[in-house]
């Protein structure tokens, strides 16, 4: 009886023990399953997270490539820039230290206060930047006393330096912090805080070439970010140097020749498209972008109506004026619709559809052939030629001379200019082409727009006998051949006639650029242009009323090449609102050409 009762108890207790044991078993099964899930199924994922925790990557910056001119003169280099840092953990009382340090590097009370605030925000074993862009005096003054400043260190980073300041600033460009578009464009580059990127010029175009590849230092860090040991070092690859086709002497001469004028000069080697000088005024000092601007400085630079940040050589679009007559003449000769000796009478104007089209010389040029028409830039002659050719032929020839489309020079932001056509007109204005529009196109007015770079390409094509080379800012390597965009096959006779006309522009006493002929016996050829900015107001007699508003003054243009026997340099000059091409633009070209021949001699 007693035994039965005991067995009953035991049985009951056993069942109940099983319940408790079952609950525990369930618990352990869940733990085991969870362990399996975390470690076996998701182990790889957590391994990655653990590595991310453990490894801190520190970039090793790659020195940016330097930029040289065609004679290996340094246009852009990297110079050391010193900054003082302090590791607060090692410094002792920070305020005292900063005060003592301040005597050597001119720290203001406010700066010290700001630094102390910063120090509170960051971990005390990380260096705190006290001051950047130290002068040599400041560096050496700290250097000799470094033992007096525990935790203080001088750090050396390299920054861009442009030794010739504003020289060729538009070609070189400047650096700045990358914006969203640039981050997308250079998606292969991993930008970091404080990284700079080329914002314009070759600094921008050759960003990836100049930049090099940054290295990386893999460091093991602990939970608070303190460096434990170096795991692996992947050194950086320095950026490559860039050798430009620019000749600093010509560049400087062209810049000086433009002086205070607003405009652009492009000089190139007509035999391969190498750009020898490319100037746009006003200029700026790219070093300022490194040192940093004051707000006022930046304001004045970015809101200047003369737009110093724009490279007018390829972003400024100007009516080519009479320089376009070269294109029209070639179109006429090529089409067989122009007999050079044919005389045309200029009475000062031409009537077309009850409208008077004036020659620049109110009194007329009388009877002129092609030679005189070019020399004296007779408008009536070219009205008639254009009328005879029609817009289609002019457009075709202009495009074959590198006009009306971006040349594809190795700089960003190039504008295409404009060569009007019937289809273009219909698309833009929904109207047909008027014959009068052909006439003014014939003298490079109306809708026609060209950049100084296109004009230089055009005159270089005449100089080399018909080949349109793609202009380039890079010096051709000995094994490289220049890139040809178009080849024109002009007959030797036609070319000769045209060139005689252009030579007479400079060397004939009646030529529009006679005053800009070169010293010595170097003969150059050229064509002036004066492009109308606003419709001239004329008196009843037809006389132009001289304007005093500088903004309405004509642009002065000049294209030229030399020497005529075997041209080695072609040049285009635009002076905004400069007045007449012969008086404002040609003298600029003259200075550049003279500098060229002084330097390189008459014959190559």
Partner 1 sequence: MNDSGSGNAWLSRGGTGSLNWPERLRRFPWSLLLLLLLTISLGFGVLFSAVGGEHNLWLFWRQIIQTGFGLSILFGVALVAGEKIYRRFAYLFYTGSLLLLAITMIMGSVGMGARRWLELGFFRLQTSELMKVALILALARYFHDRAKAGSQGWRDLGIPFLMILVPMAMIVKQPDLGTAVLLAGVGMGMIIVAGISWKVLLTLVIGFGASMPLAWNGLHAYQKQRIITLFSPERDPLGSGYHIIQSKIAVGSGALTGKGFMAGSQSQLDFLPERHTDFIFSVLAEEWGFFGGVTLLVLYVLIILRAFLIAEMANDRFGLLTVVGATLLFAIQVVVNVGMVLGLLPVVGVPLPLISYGGSSMVTIMIAMGLLAHVNLHSRQHGRSV
Q: From CA 547, how far away is CA 553, in angstroms rounded?
A: 7
Q: Between 47 and 537, whose beta carbon lies closer to partner 1?
A: 47
What gap in Å lies between CA 88 and CA 186, rounded to an integer?
37
Structure tokens at 51: 């590595």
Shortest distance in whole angstroms from residue 6 CB to partner 1:
5
By CB under 8 A, which span of 109-117, 215-223, 450-458, 477-485 interacts with partner 1? 215-223
Position among 1, 5, 93, 117 found at the interface with partner 1 (CB under 8 A)? 5
Q: Write down the least CB distance from residue 22 to partner 1, Å.
A: 11
- Least distance (Å) between residue 9 CB and partner 1: 5
Asked if 16 interacts with partner 1 (CB under 8 A), we say: yes
Tokens encoding 289: 């972008």
- Rounded CA-CA distance 402/511 in Å is 26
Any idea what the Cα angle at residue 269 is, between residues 530 and 561, rounded to 5°?
Answer: 40
- Of residues 390 through 429, those in contact with partner 1 by CB under 8 A are none
Q: Which stretch binds partner 1 (CB under 8 A): 6-14, 60-68, 147-155, 395-403?
A: 6-14
Give yes or no for residue 6 binding partner 1 (CB under 8 A): yes
Helix (H) or strand (E) holding 24: helix 2-35
Judged by CB under 8 A, does residue 14 bind partner 1?
yes
CA–CA distance, 93 with 485 (Å, rounded to integer)? 69
Is 21 among the residues that bind partner 1 (CB under 8 A)? yes
Q: Catalytic annotation on 283?
A: no
Our finding on whether 493 is near partner 1 (CB under 8 A) is no
- Would you give the distance in Å from CA 457 to the centre of its chain? 18
CA distances from 216 to 73, 177, 323 (A): 32, 21, 56
CB of 7 to partner 1, least distance (A): 9
Distance CA(464)–CA(570), nearest Å, equals: 9
Helices (H), 336-420: 370-375, 379-389, 391-400
- The distance of closest approach from Cβ of residue 168 to partner 1 in the complex, given in angstroms and rounded to an integer, is 51
Question: Which of 89, 220, 241, 387 lies at the binding interface for partner 1 (CB under 8 A)?
Answer: 220
Count the site residues for partner 1 by CB under 8 A: 43
Of 1, 20, 193, 545, the residue at the interface with partner 1 (CB under 8 A) is 20
Residue 509 contacts by C-beta under 8 Å, 6 or more apart in sequence? none
Contacts of 353 (CB under 8 A, 6+ apart): 434, 435, 436
- Return the number of the residue (46 or 191) whose C-beta is nearest partner 1: 46
Alpha-carbon distance of 217 to 472, in angstroms, equals 39
The answer to whether 61 and 237 have CB atoms below 8 angstroms apart is no
Q: Which span (13-21, 284-292, 320-328, 574-582) binds partner 1, by CB under 8 A?
A: 13-21
Of 248, 283, 322, 377, catalytic: 322
154, 216, 221, 406: residue in contact with partner 1 (rule CB under 8 A): 221
Question: Any contact of residue 8 with partner 1 (CB under 8 A)?
Answer: yes
Residues 223, 351, 492, 545: which binds partner 1 (CB under 8 A)? 223
Cβ–Cβ < 8 Å for 586, 516: yes
Mark the segment that binds partner 1 (CB under 8 A) among 10-18, 287-295, 478-486, 592-600.
10-18
* 305 vs 349: CA distance, rounded Å: 36
* Min separation Cβ 2 and partner 1, Å: 8
Strands (E), 300-434: 344-346, 349-352, 355-358, 366-368
Sign of the Cα pseudo-torsion (577, 580, 581, 585, in order): negative
Q: Phi, psi (5° rounding) for residue 352?
A: -140, 125
Q: How far is the CB of 43 from partner 1 (least distance, A)?
A: 3
Contacts of 584 (CB under 8 A, 6+ apart): 261, 556, 575, 578
Among 57, 79, 228, 428, binds partner 1 (CB under 8 A): 228
Nearest distance from C-beta of residue 21 to partner 1, angstroms: 6
Chain positions 22 to 61 lying near partner 1, rule: CB under 8 A, are 24, 27-28, 30-32, 34-36, 38-40, 42-47, 49-51, 53-54
Extract the tokens encoding 245.
């086709």
**Selected range binding partner 1 among 8-16, 124-132, 272-280, 500-508, rule: CB under 8 A:** 8-16
Q: Which stretch binds partner 1 (CB under 8 A): 12-20, 89-97, 128-136, 550-558?
A: 12-20
**Is residue 146 at the binding interface for partner 1, with CB under 8 A as the rule?**
no
**Rule CB under 8 A: which of 459-488 touch partner 1?**
none
Query: Of 11-19, 236-244, 366-374, 426-434, which segment contacts partner 1 by CB under 8 A?
Result: 11-19
Please work out, in degrees rounded to the nearest 5, the angle formed at the alpha carbon of residue 203 by the alpha carbons of 197 and 205: 100
Shortest spacing between CB 228 and partner 1, in angstroms: 7
**What is the spatial distance between Cα 419 and Cα 452, in angstroms, rounded to a whole number?**
14
Distance from the Cα of residue 401 to its chain's centroid = 23
d(CA 24, CA 409): 79
CA distance 445 to 530: 10
Query: Which positions are catalytic?
Result: 322
Query: Binding residues for partner 1, per CB under 8 A?
Result: 2, 5-6, 8-10, 12-14, 16-17, 19-21, 24, 27-28, 30-32, 34-36, 38-40, 42-47, 49-51, 53-54, 220-224, 228
């Amino acid at each position: 009886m007693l035994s039965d009762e005991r067995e009953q108890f035991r049985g009951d207790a056993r069942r109940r023990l099983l319940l408790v044991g079952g609950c525990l078993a369930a618990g352990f099964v869940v733990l085991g399953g969870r362990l399996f899930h975390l470690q076996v199924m998701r182990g790889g994922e957590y391994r990655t997270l653990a590595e991310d925790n453990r490894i801190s990557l520190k970039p090793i910056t790659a020195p940016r490539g330097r930029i040289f001119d065609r004679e290996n003169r340094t246009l852009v280099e990297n110079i050391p820039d010193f900054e003082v840092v302090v590791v607060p953990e090692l410094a002792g009382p920070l305020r005292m230290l900063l005060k003592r340090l301040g005597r050597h590097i001119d720290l203001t009370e406010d700066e010290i206060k700001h630094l102390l605030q910063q120090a509170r925000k960051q971990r005390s074993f990380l260096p705190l930047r006290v001051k950047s862009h130290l002068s040599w005096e400041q560096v050496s003054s700290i250097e000799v006393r470094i033992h007096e400043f525990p935790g203080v260190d001088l750090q050396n980073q390299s920054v861009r330096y442009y030794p010739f300041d504003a020289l060729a600033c538009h070609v070189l460009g400047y650096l700045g912090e990358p914006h969203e578009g640039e981050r997308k464009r250079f998606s292969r580059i991993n930008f970091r805080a404080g990284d700079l990127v080329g914002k314009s010029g070759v600094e921008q175009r050759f960003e990836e070439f100049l930049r090099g590849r940054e290295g990386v230092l893999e460091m093991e860090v602990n939970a608070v970010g303190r460096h434990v040991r170096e795991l692996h070092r992947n050194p950086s690859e320095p950026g490559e140097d860039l050798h430009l086709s620019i000749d600093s002497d010509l560049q400087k001469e062209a810049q000086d020749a433009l002086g205070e004028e607003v405009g652009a000069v492009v000089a190139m080697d007509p035999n391969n498209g190498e750009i020898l000088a490319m100037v746009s005024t006003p200029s700026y000092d790219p070093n300022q972008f490194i040192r940093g601007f004051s707000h006022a400085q930046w304001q004045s630079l970015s809101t200047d109506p003369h737009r110093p940040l724009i490279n007018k050589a390829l972003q400024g679009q100007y009516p080519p004026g009479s320089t376009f007559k070269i294109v029209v003449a070639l179109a006429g000769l090529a089409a067989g619709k122009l007999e050079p000796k044919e005389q045309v009478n200029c009475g000062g104007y031409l009537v077309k559809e009850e409208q008077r089209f004036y020659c620049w010389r109110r009194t007329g040029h009388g009877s002129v052939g092609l030679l005189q028409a070019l020399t004296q830039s007779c408008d009536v002659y070219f009205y008639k030629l254009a009328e005879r050719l029609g817009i289609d032929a002019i457009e075709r020839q202009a495009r074959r001379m590198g006009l009306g489309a971006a040349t594809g020079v190795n700089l960003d932001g190039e504008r295409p200019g404009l060569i009007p056509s019937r289809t273009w007109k219909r698309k833009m204005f929904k109207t047909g082409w008027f014959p009068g529009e052909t006439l003014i196109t014939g003298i490079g007015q109306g809708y026609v727009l060209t950049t100084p770079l296109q004009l230089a390409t055009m005159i270089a094509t005449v100089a080399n006998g018909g080949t349109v080379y793609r202009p380039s800012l890079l010096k051709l390597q000995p094994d490289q051949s220049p890139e040809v965009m178009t080849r024109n096959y002009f007959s030797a006779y036609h070319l000769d006639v045209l060139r005689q006309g252009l030579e007479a522009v400079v060397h004939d006493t009646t030529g529009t650029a006679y005053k800009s002929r070169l010293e010595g016996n170097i003969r150059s050829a050229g064509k002036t242009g004066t492009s109308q900015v606003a419709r001239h107001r004329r008196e009843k007699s037809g006389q132009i009323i001289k304007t005093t508003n500088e903004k309405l003054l004509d642009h002065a243009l000049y294209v030229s090449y030399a020497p005529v026997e075997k041209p080695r340099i072609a040049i285009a000059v635009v002076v905004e609102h400069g007045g007449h091409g012969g008086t404002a633009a040609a003298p600029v070209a003259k200075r550049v050409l003279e500098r060229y021949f002084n330097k390189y001699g008459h014959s190559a």
